[in-house]
């Protein structure tokens, strides 16, 4: 059974991911690139995802092995915050399209498994 604190972090990841999905539904890369507010909103939610995952793994190190590319997700968060001047819109969009769906599936599975126990 996942401790309550870990479940909270996983819920935060899911919520941020769902927000990103909602923000970008029906949007293209061109839309994303042209809309500063959309880019800002998406990047903020990726920051939340990275920080929540980092805190969850600090509390429960074995969790890192159940999330694909956990260390890269956390590094992406650091890059968004500390290397913001070098963040590429293409990279953010690529993460949104390829990595986010995988992360959300894994987090939803973890939360569903926790609910069963």
* pLDDT single digits (tens) 92-111: 999 999 999 999 999 999 99
The percent of residues above 70 in pLDDT, for the chain, comes to: 99
What is the pLDDT, as a whole number, of residue 117? Answer: 66
CA distance 89 to 91: 5
Stated pTM of the model: 0.95
* Per-residue model confidence (pLDDT) at position 115: 80
Write the CB contacts of 97 (distance below 8 Å, at least 6 apart in sequence): none
Question: What pLDDT is attached to residue 96?
Answer: 97
pLDDT at position 84: 86
Question: Would the CA dihedral through 95, 98, 100, 106 be positive or negative?
Answer: negative
Q: Show the low-confidence residues of the chain (pLDDT under 70).
A: 117
> Which ranges constitute the DSSP H helices of the chain?
4-24, 29-34, 36-59, 70-82, 89-94, 100-116
Pull the structure tokens for residue 63.
Answer: 């969790």
pLDDT at site 114: 87
């Amino acid at each position: 059974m996942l401790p309550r604190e870990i479940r909270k972090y996983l819920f935060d990841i899911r919520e941020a991911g769902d927000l990103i999905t909602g923000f970008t539904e029906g949007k293209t890369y061109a839309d994303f690139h042209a809309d500063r507010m959309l880019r800002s909103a998406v990047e903020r939610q990726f920051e939340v995802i990275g920080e929540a995952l980092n805190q969850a793994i600090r509390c429960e190190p074995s969790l890192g092995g159940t999330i694909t590319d956990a260390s890269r997700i956390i590094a992406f968060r650091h890059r968004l915050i500390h290397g913001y001047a070098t963040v590429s819109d293409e990279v953010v969009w690529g993460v949104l399209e390829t990595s986010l769906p995988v992360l959300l599936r894994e987090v939803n599975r973890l939360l569903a498994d926790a609910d069963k126990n």
